[in-house]
Amino acid sequence: MSVNIQDLAGRPVIIGGGIAGLMTALHLAPEPVLLLSRSPLGADASSAWAQGGLAASFGDDDDPALHIADTLAAGDGLCNEEVATRILRAAPAAIEDLVRFGVRFDRTAGGTLRLGLEAAHSRRRIVHAGGDGSGREVMRALVAAVRSIPTIAVLEGYEARRLLVDDGRVTGVLARSSTGPVVFATGRVVLATGGIGGLFNDTTNPLSSCGQGLALAARAGAALADLEFIQFHPTALDGPGRPMTLISEAVRGEGATIVDETGRRFLMAVPGAELAPRDVVARAVARHLAAGHRVFLDVSEKPGAAFAQHFQTIALACRRAGIDPAHDLIPIRPAQHYHMGGVAVDHAGRASVAGLWACGEVASTGLHGANRLASNSLTEAVVCARRVAESVAGSSGAGGKPTVAVEHPSSDPVTVRPILSRALGVTRDGEGLLAAAFALLPLAQPHGTASDPAIVGLMITISALLRRESRGAHFRTDYPNHAAAARRSEITLEAALAAARELAHAPAQESVI
């Protein structure tokens, strides 16, 4: 589509072309909106890679109250119950929205939704599409729906570099395309940029997901929340390929077991065994690996012959890695998978800076607490996109005139990746976090290519240093227990930089780490 950039001035701008961004655009229609995507729609979004589906209480034996209870239990005391109630009660209707937009979910012979099981769910409630290709099918339908609506202008190949802010409110977006920098004047911006996997060596996310939305929001002055809570998936296919191939929890939901090189199911002693909450399984696998064992997924008995049929994407990845799951054990290790933290948002997805919203993985609504329940994130993105769209539509677009923008270099996470991978893995400690903060601070200086990934890494590191307890996915060997009171965390870029500078000048003390 050929568009005149000037004609787009004043439209709400959605940054990101994954499920959260597309759904927000669809709910905003017919209000004219501009969607910016770095890559062709569907090509680079972690949404498209999702194997697990969407959690919603459809089953005859299920009820939203049970879904909420499972979510709160997995979240280890840190979920916002009111948020969880609001989002999860709306989940079944949000899935009906997706059906209306053309998503073909897997169904039983009787035509009802086929419901799968994943870890820490007390009922079968995961809706899939195309077996383990749920994200791909949802994206196919939503991209087609977005392209069919003339009021949604999609600019592909545009990377947002900075939010322009004047007097505490958004006035525009500075972006870059192959033809150079461009400013979009707007008083309403929705971040839907996804997660942070590209900041880690071992991740199941696209390597291009480097926390760009967090950097944009932080530089605009917005508060970020719960950044220290990073989810590691216990069963990524262990091998040289990066990003790593996910082996969905749904495979364990269908009976696959986790064993070591002796064939021992070492998780049997853990309540819930292989279907314990994801943080618990990831730590058990990581510990077993660190103790010198090898760890595998065994699908030979269960799901057995059904494996290759139900999990075609995974079966293909195994075959490409030279593994025949019918006979061979599948080598696994934990990998960064999801960020519970994000831009702190209210019930309507509003950030702390006027004119800024966030939706999907980049946002922190309070639903996930310290450890996200499997398949709650696509559900959250779809439910919240509607709320965000309603809020954006109900807000004045007046943002004033954008300030003159300076070009910024594109960001490169390569120097940040080893620092975060070392210090912010499945287990952490004060010494390692402090070393990471010292290493990140010089990289965070403005104008370097590492600056954006480094400020995100630094904010995560300082949040992890300040949380002197273990809870959910944040496990500190030097503080292995829960603190007496559960509290969510919030941080701004200014506060993180001040804390890091103070640490750099102070000798390492027990009181600061």
- Lookup result for tokens 């800076």: 353
Contacting range for ligand SIN; rule: CB under 6 A; set: 141-149, 163-171, 247-255, 396-404: 247-255
d(CA 57, CA 88): 8
Verify binding: residue 205, ligand SIN, rule CB under 6 A. no
Site for ligand SIN (CB under 6 A): which residue of 375, 379, 427, 451?
375
CA 304/CA 296 separation, integer angstroms: 15
Least Cβ distance, residue 51 to ligand SIN (angstroms): 4
CB 69, min distance to ligand SIN, A: 18
Q: Give the separation between CA 492 and CA 313, rounded to whole angstroms.
A: 40
Any contact of residue 250 with ligand SIN (CB under 6 A)? Answer: yes
Cite the DSSP H helix spans in 148-238: 212-219
Task: Kindly determine how many residues on this chain lie close enough to bind ligand SIN according to the rule CB under 6 A.
Answer: 10
Q: What is the DSSP letter of 81?
A: H
**CA atoms within 13 Å, Cβ hemisphere of 362:** 36
- Work out how close the CB of 195 gets to ligand SIN at its nearest, in angstroms, rounded to a whole number: 11
Regarding 377 and contact with ligand SIN (CB under 6 A), the answer is yes
What percent of the chain is helix, strand and coil (3-state, nearest 5)?
Answer: 35, 20, 45
- Give the x-and-dash track for 297-336 against ligand SIN (CB under 6 A): ----------------------------------------
Select 12 or 75, whichever has its Cβ closest to ligand SIN.
75
Among 374, 392, 443, 496, the residue binding ligand SIN under the rule CB under 6 A is: 374
CB-based contacts of 47, cutoff 8 Å, min separation 6:
18, 19, 20, 135, 138, 139, 194, 360, 378, 381
171 is a site residue for ligand SIN (CB under 6 A): no
Query: Catalytic pick from 125, 278, 283, 471?
Result: 278
User: In 110-264, which ranges are E strands?
Assistant: 115-116, 126-127, 152-156, 159-166, 169-177, 180-185, 189-191, 224-225, 230-237, 257-260
DSSP string, 159-174: EEEEEEEETTEEEEEE
Picking from 136, 157, 117, 107, the residue whose alpha carbon sits closest to that of residue 1 is 157
Among 226, 228, 249, 298, binds ligand SIN (CB under 6 A): 249
How is residue 408 written in tokens? Answer: 């910024």
Using CB under 6 A, which of the segments 108-116, 135-143, 244-252, 485-493 binds ligand SIN? 244-252
Which secondary-structure segment (H or E) carries 94? helix 91-100
Q: Name the segment binding ligand SIN (CB under 6 A); options: 1-9, 243-251, 342-350, 501-509.
A: 243-251
- Token code pair at residue 431: 């010494």
Please give the DSSP secondary-structure letter assigned to residue 126.
E
Binding of residue 344 to ligand SIN (CB under 6 A): no
Nearer to ligand SIN, 228 or 361 (CB): 361
3-state secondary structure at position 154: strand
Is the Cβ of residue 50 or residue 434 nearer to ligand SIN in the bound state? 50
Nearer to ligand SIN, 253 or 399 (CB): 253
Smallest gap from residue 126 Cβ to ligand SIN (A): 8
Relative orientation angle of helices 19-28 and 134-147, to the nearest 10 degrees = 30
The radius of gyration computed from the CA coordinates of the chain, to the nearest angstrom, equals 22
Of the pair 171, 205, the CB lying nearest ligand SIN is at 205
- What is the smallest separation between the CB atom of 250 and ligand SIN, expressed in angstroms? 5
Nearer to ligand SIN, 266 or 311 (CB): 311
Instruction: Tell me how crowded residue 159 is: count the other CB atoms within 10 A of its CB.
Output: 17
Residue 273 three-state SS: helix
Q: How far apart are CB 249 and ligand SIN at their closest, in Å?
A: 3
Which listed range, 38-46, 68-76, 211-219, 246-254, lies at the site for ligand SIN (CB under 6 A)? 246-254
Of 248 and 336, CB closest to ligand SIN: 248
Neighbouring-strand partners of residue 388? none
State which residue has the least CB distance to ligand SIN: 52
Q: Which two tokens stand for residue 358?
A: 């966030």
Query: Does 248 contact ligand SIN by CB under 6 A?
Result: yes
**Interaction of residue 254 with ligand SIN, rule CB under 6 A:** no
Active site residue 471: no
Cβ closest to ligand SIN, residue 24 vs residue 248: 248
52 lines the binding site for ligand SIN (CB under 6 A):
yes
Work out which of 24, 37, 46, 51 binds ligand SIN, going by CB under 6 A.
Answer: 51
CA 289 to chain centroid: 25
- Binding to ligand SIN by residue 194, rule CB under 6 A? no
Q: Please, which residue, 51 or 365, has the CB nearer to ligand SIN? A: 51
Task: Using CB atoms within 10 Å of the CB of residue 400, give its burial: 0 to 12 exposed, 13 to 18 middle, 19+ buried.
Answer: middle
Query: Which residues belong to the active site?
Result: 278
**Chain residues in the site for ligand SIN (CB under 6 A):** 51-52, 248-250, 337-338, 374-375, 377
